[in-house]
Chain A
Amino acid sequence: MKYWIGAGALFIAAVAAALSPVNEYFFYAGYVVLTFVVLSTAWNILGGYAGYVNFGTGAFFGLGSYSAVVLFKALGAPLAVQIVAAAAVGAALGFGVGMLTLRLRGIFFAIATVAILFIMETLMMNWRYVGGATGLQLLRPEVLAPFGSYTRMLFVVMALLAVLAVSVARWVQVSWIGRGLRAIRDSEEAAESAGVPTLRLKLFACTVSGALMGAAGAPMPMYLSFIEPASSFSLNWGVSALAMPMIGGTAHWIGPVIGALLLGSIQQIVTVTISNEINVLVVGVLLVLFVVLAPDGIVGLFKKVLGRK
């Protein structure tokens, strides 16, 4: 119950901020950080809970973006429809990749996600309807009152998605599904022989993860007023979506949130003040540092400190 009160309060705070005269830049940056909350939470459902690493978050995210664009261009679909469709497409991709590779060892799944990423990018680069390699400029529709700008509205939309994603992750974690996933992560062979339907649970996690990533991608084209394959399907999405949960902590749903808020904010600052390259370097270095020195992430460090008192 405490969770829902907290989540509700945060969402209301987000709406209130969007309606108040806060600096516009806050919403530009905040939208991206919230996107990372969704992506890292989604990543963690399969990566943290079950132990299957996805490098190709960009494939699901980018596919979500392109699905939204196609619906917008062909049918003038409203944002809500775009998001639902993008989630469905992301789920389908997650299920497909899962069926293909989740029977194999973890590293084959990881490499397959990279393969999907590049194949998606190549497909979109060769599809003229969505602009091919050069991409497409998009005209934003009218802003829904009472929001003062389209970006503010998207900020609130992404805040809602973030609450949804984290709620789903939390539900999975505490449910019997979550225990099964943890058993798979700890010892898949023992889990299978203990009666856990490992393939089904992995497929479930992969599908849910893909759906959330796709949904996160849907508002992005409107946010940028632009879409193109190289940035939509960049491997950089993958390294962030992976680094944030590993830094925040993969065992608990709060870990990816912490990681996304922290690393996402750092990224915004570094990209603006220094450069995009240094940004990627920072992510890489922090990832390696935490993986080596603090494998249970910030949540793990917290627990250790609290345990010592």
Chain B
Amino acid sequence: MIFSFDLLFEAVLFGILLGCFYAAVSIGLSVSFGLLDVPHVAHPAIMVLGSYCAYVVAGWGLDPILSGVVLMPVFFVLGVLIYRFYYETFERRGSEAGVRGLAFFFGLAFIIEVGLILAFGVDQRTVQAPYIGSSLALGEYRIPYRMLVAFGVALVLTAALTVYLSKTFTGRAIKAVAQDEPALRLMGANPVRIKQWAFGIATGVSVLAGAMLIIVGPVEPAMDRLYIGRTFCVVVLAGLGSMTGTLVAGLILGIAESLVLMFFGASWAPAVAFGLLLIVLGIRPQGLFGR
């Protein structure tokens, strides 16, 4: 392990960019699991599915990010359908639903993963774009443009979602349904419709996150397994239901992973998210900003 402040600074810088990316990747889960209490372990799998869809659309000549944006309405509808199905089959039935709901999403994740393997094979896929491959020179440090793009999109996405949830009527209804569903019912709003709308948004956001995923690096079908750790780490560390917390938690994870990567090597990096998750669960399960 070679230590120098230069390397440290570079690791932290990269960690910040990576962290924002992790926050954006997790924000969909922050809504679906943090706010709506859906045990959505298939969230990373859907994101990887989004990556592959963006890959296909980008293959027709569209910029990868634009591909993601174009696919958002499609994934929104997918999210609505999934939530509707989950609600009708499990949430209505009561306590036994806990085990079955978890098992359902677990099975769904595997079906998606294998489906992708059958459609695309196990090899890694990448996309091309003018900002992929070159770096920005900042003094002595080189920052890959693709990381900057992901960083930018991530910030915009997180900010947009936070504003939406706090300033718009539907957004606040979503937060309300997370906190006090009976009260919402008394106000005449239909909690199920609000929840399915929210889940749709969370899924729509996931495809954009998936587009960023394939910009930041190559994707392969089994990646969802690793991202279960990263996304749940961020959401739990943030505290269920906190959007700004997601950004902070993402940064913490990104920097931690980057430091481990720099000073201990790539063979240890996958365990960082999972290790951090266990530590949070052990010491402060409500997270940093939890309800």
Contacts and interface: CB of A to CB of B under 8 A. Distances in A.
Q: Do chains A and B touch in the complex (CB under 8 A)?
A: yes
Nearest to A52: B99
B281 A292 contact: no
A281 B114 contact: yes
B268 A111 contact: no
B106 interface: yes
Interface in B117-137: 117-118
B41 A118 contact: no
B62 interface: no
Please classify the interface of chain A as helix (H, G, I), strand (E, B), loop, or mixed, using the class held by over half of its residues: helix
B81 interface: no
B139 interface: no
Contacts, number: 121
Contacts of A107: 33, 39, 98, 102
Interface residues of A, number: 45
B232 interface: yes
Contact of B267 (A104, A122, A239, A281): A122
Contacts of A238: 106
A51 B94 CA distance: 13
B223 interface: no
A61 to B, nearest CB: 16
Contact of A106 (B102, B111, B229, B282): B102
A283 interface: yes
Interface in A82-139: 100-101, 104, 106-108, 110-112, 114-116, 118-119, 122-123, 125-126, 133
Contacts of B118: 277-278, 281
A121 B95 CA distance: 33
Contacts of B282: 100-101
A119 B225 CA distance: 13
A41 B117 CA distance: 30
Interface stretch (B143-151, B162-170, B204-212, B270-278): B270-278
A113 to B, nearest CB: 10
B281 A108 contact: yes
A284 B229 CA distance: 21
Contacts of A47: 99
A187 B95 contact: yes
Nearest to A123: B271
Given A281-B114, A284-B107, A51 B285 contact: no
Contact of B103 (A53, A125, A277): A53
Nearest to B85: A292
Given A284-B114, A292-B89, A111 B103 contact: no
A106 B110 contact: no
A126 B278 contact: no
Nearest to B121: A277
Given A115-B229, A118-B229, A126-B268, A288 B275 contact: no
29 contacts: A51-B96, A53-B102, A53-B103, A104-B281, A104-B285, A106-B98, A108-B285, A110-B102, A111-B228, A111-B232, A115-B229, A116-B278, A118-B271, A118-B274, A119-B274, A119-B275, A122-B271, A125-B267, A133-B267, A185-B95, A239-B106, A246-B100, A278-B114, A280-B113, A280-B114, A284-B110, A287-B106, A291-B103, A295-B100
Interface of A: 47, 51, 53, 55, 100-101, 104, 106-108, 110-112, 114-116, 118-119, 122-123, 125-126, 133, 185-187, 235, 238-239, 242-243, 246, 250, 277-278, 280-281, 283-285, 287-288, 291-292, 295
